[in-house]
Each structure stands twice: as structure tokens, then as C-alpha cells.
């Protein structure tokens, strides 16, 4: 039986606990011979085995949502543990809710009214009889008060003790403890920074550049770099607002920013009997806005000795606070392999799958065992590095805007590449799911595994090429470009990688002429197949003779790159193919092995395989193909129609210096100008919050405000005109 509860309804006339029915078979039997995850068909398995004789919880509540809730539920099912999902009203039909044995609605969409409500979640624990709570990451996962409240009610928090969370989850206190434990440290201010002016004073004492960050933060939120007094004031204000929105805690700290470092973290795992091990490192240097985009394990940069020293310091710090469960100690590493303690995340980390892949240890399984009081079965000498794993975070974001501004919408078509060997997809969405502006825009954590880095990256390229996502903008084009970019492939990376490799922003895959001609050839073939299909349908209706021409002539263009193309359907060695003649100079053969309804096209150009996607086509002669992750719009016109294009009027161009358009959907947090006000070039005019990140929007030039189309608290769509200058 699958039960759906509602707790804390918004209307006072609604019962506090409303039981709704929903049937779903969720029985799962744990088998000692079965591992918890596999990486694709016939892929790499965990060596973690479930012991059916070991005591366990009977029911666990997951105080989170999305993919991490699904992740925890899967392990619980394998262990034979019943699960309870808590959710906001907009998440009521989400995958994690359907997967759980019971579901509890805890409030409206805003996190502070649902997923951050300790009292309502505690009520759900009592009502459902859950014996333990897994907090996932984010939300209440590092909230010491919540962990203590659960302990006071004899409910196990699947994570560290409230004392450890208080010591390490607070970045201000953690630095003091780390210094006493002789951990390598970044210079900084050991205390809370109260306001903008104190931030400026502390920043000058430390010396610019500085990192301004939330004490209770994580995931890149509430973090900004300042290079001068002006940026210190602005970034303190914006980061403080993000911290309050994301964590319910707006305390801030300031530390020295190490320019151009690597970001390398160590996974630790401890039990309640004093045993702590490190599960090696994760390289997390590919970031935008201090949020990780691609991670891998191990790091190409660490030698065995540095790995050992960093791992031992991570364990040393954990022992200093009596730590148990899973945790992550993060370090900044400079070009000489000097490392400095950055922070400790007292929770399960987003990127934990790559550690699971290279160690064979299911971290969620171990967290649940440790919470129940069992000892770790693995010793430090047992932990090696098996193969290589890479994780790409697939987001509903537009990578052409600041390397990724959020996108919202419904997934009209969705097929992940989990059928490919050595591929793992951690996702909380399915076809038809809604990506809303209230939560993190993560679609999937895509992990690939191989015997070495080259194999893992090759599988990642295949997986990204085969990943079908329609309905929302996504960042696959950026991910696909990075994993084949020379600096990344050679391991020459740092946290500055994105702005250094793409100084003018990401522009998509830059094609060579032969690649453009391949796209032009395939687009012409798509047009031919459509013409043949339409002609066949017309003949059936009119019972006329076959009027399909022997060949088809087009003018095909990608932007300003144009070619004249003749396509002739032929049989070559008994196989249906298209003979392509480009500008009368060369011939190419493309195998006719795809349908117009296929999303993924595994085509062959003169016998050479290539994977592309047919994104869309329309009656006006536009075909959109996806190649190497990037979308290309091609105009395919019959030769007779193409000569009339020069008579078409030019499209009007918007003056973006005078008109401020919202670059993303979001909520207006503040409006700094009014009609008639004179503004300077670059002056802040408003702040828009999207997925808990606050984005300052500025004037494109000096001038007088002519129009203000927004107000504080209003929800805006991507492309909405916000402010216009005279």
C-alpha cells in the first residue's frame, strides 16, 4: 500500500492530517547476493553486499526531494526498509513521491514553507512512525537543531551527531577547530562578519581578492569573490540574501581567495565506534559560480603521497570532532600540490556516485548501517582505486548565459542513456516532469565508469550524445564540449577553467567546414525523407501515379555557411542510401537507416559512424540537429524557393543596451530604479532570484529610465522586458 498524507494544510478548515489513498506495489526483498547499483547493462557493480541477518530500521523518512530522495529510496528498497517521502504541493506527482511507500505533503512550493520546516517534518515522522530520517543534501542536512530535535524524540538522524554538525557544519567554528587540529589552513578571519562595512574592513586586513561565503552554506550558494571594496559591499549583500533563502541562516565569513587553484575533496566514512576511513579524492575544479559542473575520481593531479597526506588530515579532522557517518573534507590545492582546508560538508555529497564507482562502496548503505550502530566492515588498507569515474551534472540551464542560467518547463520527451554499459543516471525526473523555479534545476547526475580516464570520458561522450531531453533548455552542449577540450583531456584544469577556456562565454561547438557539410547533408536527407513521406500520403489520398522525383535539389544553410545540395535515393550493395552531391564537387553516401520520428540518429557518412539528434523540423524548411551536444538550426529550401529569400525583409534587432530583458525565469527580489531616474552604465537596477541564486542585473548604458515593468516579489519569465531606457 502506498499512502499519501497531507500535513500543515494552508487552510485552517482543512484537517491537519488528511489521509489520501494511492495504491502502488512497492514490496522489495533484500537479497544478500544482490548489489545495490549497476553501471548500465552488464556494467560495474558495487562490492557492497547486504547482510540479511544484520539488524536494520523498519522505516526511514527522507527529508529531501528529487534525485537524492530517489537515490536513498532505492537503497532502502534493496535493504527491505520501508520509506516515507515528504514533499511540497508542487512535488506531489514527482518520481520520488511515487517511489516511496508513504508520502506526506508538508506545505507549499517555497522551501522555507515546506522542506525547511522542522516542525512539520517532525510531525510527519511521528505520524508515520519512521524510526530514522535521511536528510540527503541541502535543506536540513546540516541543521544541528533539526538533528538534535530528532535525537530528543528517539529518532535516528542518518548523518553525524548534532555536535559534529555544529562543529563542522558551521564554517566559522570549523576553521577554529581545524587550526587547533593542525590542519593546513587558508588565511582568513575567524569570526562572523556582521555587515557590509565590517566585510570591507576584514577584506582589507586579509588583502584582496577575498571569498565571501555563507557560514552554513554549500553547493555554491551564498559565495562570491570580491576584488575591491565596491565588490565586497555588493557581494556581501547578495550572498547574505542567498544564504537566508537557501539555508535559513545568513551568517557570513570572509577568507583569502586563492587564485587559480584546484578544488579537491576527500570522502570520509566513520562509525560510532571510532573507526574512520577516507575513500580517496574527487576532483571538483570545473565550476561556475562556485558550483561544481563536472567531477571525477581520482584526480589526475595527486600523487600517492599527497593523496595519503590529504586523506590522513581529513580523518584527523573528523576524529577531532568525534565524527561518524559520511562526510566530505574539501581542500584548495595550488600548483605545487600545497593543500589548504576549505570546509567540511557534514552530509552526503552530491557527487558521491563517482566515489562509489571507484571504491565499490555504497555510501548510502553504509550511512544507514552506521546510524543503526553497526561497525564499518572495511579497513583503510582495503580501500584502493578501481578504474576511473566521471560525473556530469545535467542541468536545466542555458549554458550560453553565464555558463548556465536556469531554465524552467515541462520535459515533453526524455530518455536517459542508462542502457549504455558503464553508465549510471541519478535522476528524480521522468518524461512529463516539471522543472520549476523553486528548486535546484538539476535534471540528472550522469556518471560513467571505465578502466581508465580515457575509457570513462569516451563513454561519457557517447552518453551525452544519446541523452534525449526536450521541453527545457539544458547544459549538455557545454558538458560535451568540455570533456573533449584539450586542456581538460590533458588534466590541465583549475577552478578558473571555464573563464580561461571560454573567455567570451560559451558559444557552442565550433565546427570545421567538413563538419558543417555533414550537418548540411543530413538535414537535406531529412528533408528528402519528409518529402517522400508527404508525397506517399498524397498519392494514397488521390490514387495518382508515383510522382516522386528521382533526385531533390536544395540550398542548405547554417548561419552564413551555404551549400547547394542534390540528394538522390539509391541502393548501394543492397542497402538503401542517399547519394549527396555538394556544390557539384563531391559525393557523400549516408545510409538510410533512420526514421523521422527518431530522436537519436546513428548515421553513417561514407561508412563512418556518427551520432546526432533530430531536434525538430517544420514546414517552412527549418531543420534543427544536435551534434556533439550543440544545437544547430539549418534552413533547408528547395532550390527554386531559395532564390526568393533575398526579397524577404530583415528581422528587427533589439537594442539590448536600452532594453533590459530577463535572462532567466525567476522572482524579483528588489527593484533599485524608477521611471525618470538617471542611471549610470553598469548600475544595478534590479535583483532576480532563480533557483535560490540571486542575480544582479545592471543598466547597459547611461540614460534615463523610461519604463519599469516589474515590482518586488513578482515572478518573471525568461525574455520578459524588465526595464527600458529613453
In terms of Cβ atoms closer than 10 Å to its own Cβ (0-12, 13-18, 19+), residue 59 is middle
CA of residue 234 relative to chain centroid, distance: 27
Q: How far apart are CA 445 and CA 438, in angstroms?
A: 19
* CA distance readout (Å), 384 to 29, 86, 279, 308, 335: 31, 37, 8, 12, 25
d(CA 362, CA 34): 12
What residue ranges in 248-297 does DSSP mark as E strands? 252-256, 262-270, 276-288, 291-297
Q: H/E element holding 515?
A: helix 513-542
Q: Are 346 and 142 in contact (CB under 8 A)?
A: yes
Task: Report the C-alpha gap between 685 and 676 in whole angstroms.
Answer: 13
Question: Cell numbers 541477518 correspond to what residue?
Answer: 53
**DSSP bridge partners of 331:** 264, 341
Give yes or no for a cis peptide into 86 (omega within 30° of 0): no
Distance between CA atoms of residues 287 and 497, nearest Å? 8
User: 413 near 599, Cβ under 8 Å?
Assistant: yes
CB contact set of 64 (below 8 Å; sequence gap of 6+): 72, 115, 134, 135, 136, 137, 138, 139, 141
Residue 618: count of CB within 10 angstroms of its CB: 8
* Gap between the Cα atoms of 424 and 70, Å rounded: 13
Q: Which three cell numbers stand for residue 661?
A: 530583458
Residue with cell 557517447: 462
> Cα dist. 581→245, 471, 514 in Å?
58, 35, 14
**What is the 3 state secondary structure string of 161-209?**
CHHHHHHHHCHHHHHHHHHHCCCCECCECCCCECCHHHHHHHHHHHCCC
Decide if 347 is catalytic.
yes
Q: How far apart are CA 119 and CA 140, in angstroms?
A: 12
Give SS3 for 410: strand
d(CA 138, CA 134) in angstroms, rounded, equals 12
Task: Please name which of 414, 432, 524, 409 lies closest in space to residue 476, comparing C-alpha atoms.
Answer: 414
* Distance from C-alpha of 688 to C-alpha of 695, rounded to nearest angstrom: 5
Quick one: which H or E segment has residue 371? helix 363-371
- Residues 471-486 as b/e (b if ≥16 CB within 10 A, e otherwise) read bbbbbbbbbbbbbbee
State the Cα–Cα distance between residues 553 and 564, nearest whole angstrom.
7
Residue 516, CA distances (Å) to 521, 582, 632, 709 in order: 9, 12, 10, 42
Torsion angles phi and psi, residue 644, rounded to 5: -90, -5
Q: Which of 237, 347, 424, 480 is catalytic?
A: 347
Cα-based distances in Å from 518 to 388, 571, 577: 33, 20, 15
Residue 593's SS3 state is: coil
Which residues are tagged catalytic? 347
Amino acid at each position: 500500500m502506498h499512502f499519501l498524507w497531507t500535513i500543515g494544510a494552508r487552510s485552517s478548515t482543512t484537517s491537519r492530517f488528511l489521509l489520501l489513498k494511492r495504491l502502488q506495489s512497492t514490496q522489495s526483498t533484500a537479497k544478500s547476493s544482490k548489489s545495490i547499483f549497476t553501471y548500465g547493462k552488464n556494467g560495474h557493480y558495487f562490492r557492497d553486499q547486504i547482510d540479511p541477518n544484520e539488524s536494520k530500521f523498519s522505516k526511514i523518512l527522507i527529508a529531501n526531494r528529487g534525485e537524492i530522495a530517489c537515490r536513498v529510496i532505492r537503497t532502502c528498497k534493496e535493504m527491505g526498509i520501508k520509506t516515507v517521502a515528504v514533499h511540497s504541493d508542487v512535488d506531489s506527482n514527482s518520481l520520488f513521491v511515487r517511489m516511496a511507500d508513504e508520502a506526506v505533503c508538508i506545505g507549499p512550493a517555497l522551501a522555507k514553507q515546506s522542506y525547511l520546516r522542522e516542525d512539520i517534518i517532525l510531525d510527519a515522522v511521528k505520524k508515520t512512525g519512521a524510526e530514522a530520517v535521511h536528510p540527503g543534501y541541502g535543506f536540513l542536512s546540516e541543521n544541528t537543531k533539526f538533528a538534535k530535535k530528532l535525537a530528543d524524540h528517539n529518532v535516528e538522524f542518518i548523518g553525524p551527531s548534532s555536535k559534529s554538525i555544529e562543529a563542522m557544519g558551521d564554517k566559522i567554528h570549523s576553521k577554529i577547530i581545524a587550526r587547533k587540529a593542525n590542519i593546513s589552513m587558508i588565511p582568513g578571519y575567524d569570526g562572523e562578519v556582521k555587515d557590509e562595512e565590517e566585510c570591507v574592513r576584514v577584506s582589507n586586513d586579509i588583502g584582496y581578492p577575498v571569498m565571501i561565503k555563507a557560514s552554513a552554506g554549500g553547493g555554491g550558494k551564498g559565495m562570491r569573490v570580491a576584488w575591491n571594496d565596491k565588490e565586497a559591499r555588493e557581494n556581501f549583500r547578495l550572498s547574505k540574501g542567498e544564504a537566508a533563502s537557501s539555508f535559513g541562516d545568513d551568517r557570513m565569513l570572509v577568507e583569502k581567495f586563492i587564485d587559480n587553484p584546484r578544488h579537491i575533496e576527500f570522502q570520509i566514512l566513520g562509525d560510532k565506534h571510532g573507526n574512520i576511513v577516507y575513500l580517496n579524492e574527487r576532483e571538483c575544479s570545473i565550476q561556475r559560480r562556485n558550483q561544481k559542473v563536472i567531477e571525477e575520481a581520482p584526480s589526475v593531479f595527486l600523487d600517492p603521497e599527497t593523496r595519503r597526506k590529504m586523506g590522513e588530515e581529513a580523518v584527523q579532522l573528523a576524529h577531532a570532532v568525534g565524527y561518524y557517518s559520511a562526510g566530505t573534507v574539501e581542500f584548495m590545492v595550488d600548483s605545487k600540490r600545497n593543500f589548504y582546508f576549505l570546509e567540511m560538508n557534514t552530509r552526503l555529497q552530491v557527487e558521491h556516485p563517482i566515489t562509489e564507482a571507484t571504491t565499490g562502496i555504497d555510501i548510502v548503505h553504509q550511512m544507514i548501517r552506521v546510524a543503526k550502530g553497526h561497525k564499518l566492515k572495511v579497513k583503510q588498507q582495503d580501500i584502493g582505486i578501481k578504474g576511473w569515474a566521471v560525473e556530469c551534472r545535467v542541468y536545466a540551464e542555458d549554458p550560453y548565459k553565464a555558463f548556465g542560467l536556469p531554465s524552467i518547463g515541462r520535459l515533453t520527451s526524455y530518455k536517459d542513456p542508462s542502457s549504455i554499459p558503464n553508465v549510471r543516471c541519478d535522476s528524480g525526473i521522468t518524461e512529463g516532469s516539471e522543472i520549476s523555479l523553486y528548486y535546484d534545476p538539476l535534471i540528472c547526475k550522469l556518471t560513467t565508469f571505465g578502466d581508465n580516464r580515457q575509457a570513462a570520458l569516451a563513454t561519457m561522450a557517447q552518453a551525452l550524445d544519446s541523452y534525449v531531453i526536450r521541453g527545457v533548455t539544458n547544459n549538455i552542449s557545454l558538458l560535451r564540449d568540455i570533456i573533449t577540450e584539450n586542456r581538460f583531456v590533458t588534466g590541465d584544469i583549475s577552478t578558473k577553467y571555464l573563464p580561461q577556456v571560454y573567455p567570451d562565454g560559451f558559444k557552442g561547438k565550433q565546427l570545421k567546414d567538413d563538419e558543417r557539410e555533414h550537418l548540411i547533408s543530413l538535414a537535406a536527407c531529412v528533408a528528402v525523407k519528409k518529402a517522400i513521406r508527404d508525397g506517399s500520403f498524397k498519392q494514397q489520398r488521390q490514387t495518382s501515379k508515383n510522382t516522386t522525383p528521382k533526385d531533390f535539389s536544395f540550398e542548405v544553410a547554417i548561419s552564413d555557411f551555404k551549400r547547394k545540395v542534390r540528394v538522390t535515393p539509391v541502393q548501394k550493395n543492397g542497402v538503401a542510401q542517399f547519394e549527396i552531391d555538394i556544390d557539384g564537387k563531391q559525393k557523400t553516401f549516408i545510409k538510410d537507416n533512420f526514421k523521422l520520428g527518431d530522436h537519436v540518429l546513428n548515421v553513417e557518412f561514407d561508412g563512418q559512424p556518427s551520432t546526432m539528434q533530430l531536434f525538430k523540423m517544420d514546414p517552412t524548411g527549418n531543420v534543427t540537429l544536435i551534434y556533439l551536444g550543440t544545437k544547430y538550426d539549418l534552413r533547408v529550401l528547395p532550390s527554386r524557393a531559395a532564390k526568393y529569400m533575398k526579397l524577404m525583409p530583415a528581422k528587427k534587432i533589439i537594442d539590448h543596451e536600452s532594453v533590459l530583458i530577463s535572462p532567466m525565469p525567476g522572482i524579483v527580489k528588489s527593484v533599485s530604479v524608477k521611471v525618470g531616474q538617471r542611471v549610470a552604465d553598469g548600475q544595478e537596477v534590479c535583483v532576480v532570484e532563480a533557483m535560490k541564486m540571486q542575480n544582479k542585473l545592471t543598466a547597459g548604458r547611461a540614460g534615463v529610465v523610461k519604463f519599469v515593468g516589474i515590482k518586488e516579489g513578482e515572478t518573471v519569465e525568461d525574455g520578459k522586458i524588465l526595464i527600458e531606457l529613453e
